[in-house]
Structure 1
Amino acid sequence: MKLQKLVFTLIFFSFALTASAQTANELKRKKEAIQREIEQLQKNLNKTASGKKLTLQQINTINTQIRLRQDKIGTINSEIKNLDNQISKNTNTVHTLQGQLGDLKKEYAGMIRFAQRNRNSYDKMMFIFAAKDFNQAYKRIKYLQQFSQYRKKQAGYIENTQQDLNGKIKVLDQTLREKSNLLKDQEREKERLGKDKNEQSVALNKLSKQEKQFKQDINTRKKQQAQIDRAIAAAIQRAIEEARRKAAEEARIAAAKAAAEARAAEAKAKAENRPIPKAPTVSTKEKTTGELLTATPEAARLSAGFENNRGRLPWPVATGSITERYGSHKVDLASYTNDGVDITTNDGATVRAVFAGKVLTVQYIQGRGVVIIIHGEYITVYQNLRNVSVTTGSNVDTKQAIGVVANTGDDAILKFQIRRGQSTLNPEAWISK
């Protein structure tokens, strides 16, 4: 029973440590990804730090850097918590193995004492011949054989348990060192966070001195974006109207066919002197936008596939950080709305379709490319492209290159939207984390 308990304990802790290792690796990858985003944003800030004029991009970059730094500290805290759990489990395992090792050694010592008392062949023979009958003598012979084998196994168990104990102690020491390093990393990140917040404070002070110019810049941006949004809405509306026209034409053809079939059935009934059958009714209910955009099997399949990949869609660029989120924003006294997200990426970054679909339109507005791709009921918009590598009407696959991001000021920023019909959606809920 003791050996079974030992084996069960080792198997249990092996599974527990495997799960902990998986969690630790996930946290490590997340922390490294956050650090890469922070470093890229810092490069962008370093390029623009010498400029006397404060831009909205700089403020967004600083705010995003603070948010990412806080996320990194939170990830480090999770790593520390995970290590604390590992330390607790390993400590319990060490205590369990120490106790079981002691029990095994006591049991083995008892067997050695028994073997010492019965070490000569004469004693063994007397033990066998003292049996009442042949069956008992045979059982005593088997017992002596099994006892010898068990003693050897017991010695092996002791050796293996000692090795496991030494291994767990090494793991425990390593985990304690990892925790110490993480605590140091946490302190460094808190110090850097403090510097980022000081930089944010300096930027806001600078903003107050440039308030008039800053408001003018935001108003200019709002007007430019409004023009682009109107063009996007118009392109989507044209697609909806085209779908409605096709649906109306199909309904007209279906009604004409039904009427012709009804007349033929009526004529046949009259000729055969039968009651005239009731003409079939054709639905005149107007279709919703979703029904119009998913009228064909291909469109319905694309729409369902897009929806099923919510939270798992690839990013429209290989690397980058969301430096402006979806929704309403207020900077000092100026406010504006973003119908998508702004992703700051590397200079010359390739823009990719996040899902298979058909290019609804390619436009150049204010010198920048805008690509709109339709995926059944869902629509993705890629704005601020330096050049475009697809054409209107072409089919695209997931992650297919569609263009290159243009530089806005000093940063390469892709403006990305997801819509359901004309309604805007938060892209962060759809792309992978």
Structure 2
Amino acid sequence: MCTNKHLYKVICISVFLLCGVLGFSQSTKQKQLESRRQELRREIQKINALRAENKSKEKSELSLIEDFNYKINVLSNLIKVTNQQANLLTREINSNQKKITSLREELVQLKEAYAAMIVKSYKSKNQQSRIMFLLSSEDFKQAYKRLQYLKQYSDYQKEQGRIIKAKTVELQETNMSLLKQKEEKNKLIAENKVVQKSLESERKHHETLMTTIKRNLSLYASQIKQKQREADRIDREIDRIIKAAIAKSNKAAGKKSSSKSFALTAEEKVLASNFIANKGKLPWPVERGVVRLGYGTQRHPIDRSLTIKSNGVRIATTKGAKVRAVFNGEVSEILKMKNVNPIVMIRHGNYLTIYKNLSSVYVKKGDKVTTKQEIGEVFTNPSNGETILSFTISKGFTTENPNGWIYKM
């Protein structure tokens, strides 16, 4: 059975380790939140830069609503993350304040005990010198024990002095940490107030624009439906091309042409494996940009009764922006359709990346491309100055969310 003393030690060690783990966990969480906050701030800077660039252009109400919705979403997330940071700092501040109180109390007790020990030691020296204390021993064994006692007592005094010094330093460091945390929290609160004002301004502009739009909602609904029909027409043609490419690869490999996946060569298998290994680390298809429309089926921000089906993401970028291959591969198709800007399709084994709305293309079908190689330029709408790249990732003809593939999208 464990003794009480042993049980006390186990409890103390467990508490110490738990505090250490909690402290490390909080520190890691704080770093993650700060990293996310900086990402959102950079995103806002990119949005503002794109707005400033196209300020002289007259945008459509549909485009403006997308702009407002996106910035409102980013600003809201920034406020949320900053609040999480401030709340975490509050917990850390409270923890440090408790620690400071505990350290102060402990120091008082240590100093009182140390002072009493010094006084006792001084009195003991006056009453009887060390030599007399040792000479009065009955035998050598007792004298040796007394000598050891004096040494241990002296070491104990030094150790207590060292502990007091260490606790004093710890108290000072904790005080400094507390002041820094309070300063960081005040800074976060001040920054959040500025962001909150910006969010309120964006929401007011959004509400004003929505009031204008609602006066003629049927016209905008018609535009939205037409835009979706055009997107669906392009996606159907892309699906047709992919299915034909899959059938061709399977026929060449002597497999059933009805298969839903590419028949891969040994080289293509390696390429597909490398593509998968880089999931979440692929570069953006443009050097600078913000996602204006996300992946998947979603309610339209103007008419909630309508849905948008997005097989990829729409990225707003700068005029003259170059389109880059996100990974090594082979240009499987340069698609040109009536009233549609060129589309480049790049195959990476059994995966494809698709780049829509290009003004010019620098590659041709069958070309081998490398990661970040420029393959074309994004089309800029002359009427509103918008430069939008539509980007899709698919496995065969099943699309996947680019957010999970592109680094920090």
* In the alignment, structure 1 residue 184 sits paired with structure 2 residue 190: yes
In structure 2, C-alpha distance between the alignment counterparts of 1:92 and 1:394, rounded to whole Å: 66
SS of equivalent to 2:125: coil
Distance 1:144 1:211, change over 3 A: same
Tell me which of 82, 85, 93 is aligned to 2:88. 82
Aligned mates of 2:124, 2:246 — CA distance in 1: 97
Distance 1:119 1:299, change over 3 A: same
Contact preservation (8 Å) 1:316, 1:354: yes
Q: Alpha-carbon deviation of 1:422?
A: 1.4
Please give the root-mean-square deviation of Cα atoms over the aligned residues, in Å: 3.3
Q: Tell me, yes or no, if structure 1 residue 402 matches structure 2 residue 350.
A: no
Preserved contact between residue 246 and residue 257 of structure 2 (Cα < 8 Å) = no
- Report what 2:77 is aligned to: 71
Per-residue deviation, 1:360 = 1.1
Distance 1:50 1:301 in 2: 49
1:324 aligns with: 293
Inter-CA distance 319–23: structure 2 relative to 1 (3 Å threshold) = farther
Deviation at 1:416, TM superposition (A): 0.7
2:396 to 418, 421, 424: 421
TM-score normalised over the length of structure 2: 0.84
* Closer, same or farther: CA 339–12 of 1 in aligned 2, 3 Å: closer
Counterpart of 1:289 in 2: which secondary structure? coil
Matched, 1:288 2:263: no
> Which residue, out of 314, 317, 333, partners 2:283?
314
Q: Is residue 48–residue 58 contact of structure 1 (8 Å, CA) maintained in 2? A: no
Aligned to 2:357: 384
Tell me which residue corresponds to 2:119. 113
Q: Kindly indicate whether the alpha-carbon contact (under 8 Å) linking 1:341 and 1:427 is maintained by their aligned counterparts in 2.
A: yes
Task: Quote how far apart the aligned CAs of 1:339 are.
Answer: 1.6
Summarize the Cα distance change of 1:400–1:5 in structure 2 as closer, same or farther, 3 Å threshold: farther
**Cα–Cα, structure 1 residues 298 and 52, in superposed 2: closer, same or farther, change >3 Å?**
closer
Which residue of 301, 307, 322 corresponds with 2:270? 301
Give the structure 2 partner of residue 260 of structure 1. none
How far residue 217 of structure 1 moved from its aligned partner, in angstroms, is 4.0
**C-alpha separation between the residues in 2 aligned to 1:360 and 1:21?**
48
Task: Give the CA deviation at 1:382.
Answer: 1.1
Separation in 2 of the partners of 1:422 and 1:7?
57
Give the alignment partner of residue 371 of structure 1, picking from 319, 328, 344: 344
Higher relative contact order (CA 8 A, sep 6+): 2
Offset, 1:243: 0.7
Q: Measure how far apart 1:85 and its partner are.
A: 2.3
Tell me the equivalent position of 1:348: 320
Distance (Å, rounded) in 1 between the aligned partners of 2:231 and 2:282: 25
Specify whether residues 309 and 126 from structure 1 end up closer, same or farther in structure 2 by C-alpha distance, changes over 3 A only.
same
In structure 2, C-alpha distance between the alignment counterparts of 1:294 and 1:102, rounded to whole Å: 78
Counterpart of 2:137 in 1: which secondary structure? Answer: coil
Q: Is contact 1:45–1:58 with CA below 8 Å preserved after alignment?
A: no
Contact 2:37–2:81 (8 Å) recurs in 1: yes
Looking at structure 2, the residues matched to 347 and 103 of structure 1 have their Cα atoms a distance apart, in angstroms, of 70
Secondary structure of the 2:284 match is: coil
- Write out per-residue CA displacement over residues 142-175 of structure 1, whole angstroms, 9 at most, x where no aligned residue: 3323322332332222122112101211211221
Q: In the alignment, which residue of structure 2 is the partner of 1:256?
A: none
CA distance in 2, matches of 1:84, 1:133: 64
Corresponding residue of 2:251: 245
How much does 1:246 deviate? Answer: 0.5
Partners of 1:110 and 1:287 lie apart in 2 by: 92
Structure 1's 17 and 319: CA in aligned 2 closer, same or farther, altered over 3 A? Answer: farther
**Structure 2 matches for 1:58-207, cutoff 5 A?**
58-119=64-125, 123-207=129-213
Q: Which amino acid aligns with 1:369?
A: P
Rounded to whole Å, the distance in 1 between the matches of 2:94 and 2:230 is: 58
| Alpha carbons of structure 1 residues 401 and 151: separation in structure 2 relative to 1, 3 Å | farther
Counterpart for residue 271 of structure 1: none
Q: Following the alignment from structure 1 to structure 2, what is the Cα–Cα distance between the partners of residues 118 and 294?
A: 94
CA contact (8 A) 2:343 2:358 kept: yes
Counterpart amino acid of residue 327 in structure 2: F
* Structure 2: distance between partners of 1:133 and 1:288: 100
Task: Judge conservation of contact 2:319–2:380 (CA < 8 Å) in 1.
Answer: yes
* Residue 31 of structure 2 is aligned to residue 25 of structure 1: yes
Partners of 2:296 and 2:403 lie apart in 1 by 11
Q: CA deviation at 1:13?
A: 6.0
Q: Contact (CA 8 Å) 1:54, 1:206: kept in 2 or not?
A: no
Contact residue 247 and residue 257 of structure 2 kept, 8 A: no
Determine if contact 1:6/1:100 at 8 Å carries over to the other structure: no
Note closer, same or farther for the CA distance 1:336–1:125 as it changes in structure 2 (3 Å cut).
closer
Q: Distance in 1 between matches of 2:282 and 2:275?
A: 8
In structure 2, the CA distance between the partners of 1:3 and 1:230, relative to structure 1 (3 Å rule), is closer
SS in 1 for 2:353: strand
Structure 1 partner of 2:63 = 57
Q: How big is the shift at 1:361? A: 1.6
Q: Percent same amino acid among aligned pairs?
A: 29
Shift of 1:67: 0.8
Partner Cα separation in structure 2 for residue 107 and residue 391 of structure 1: 85
CA contact (8 A) 2:247 2:259 kept: no
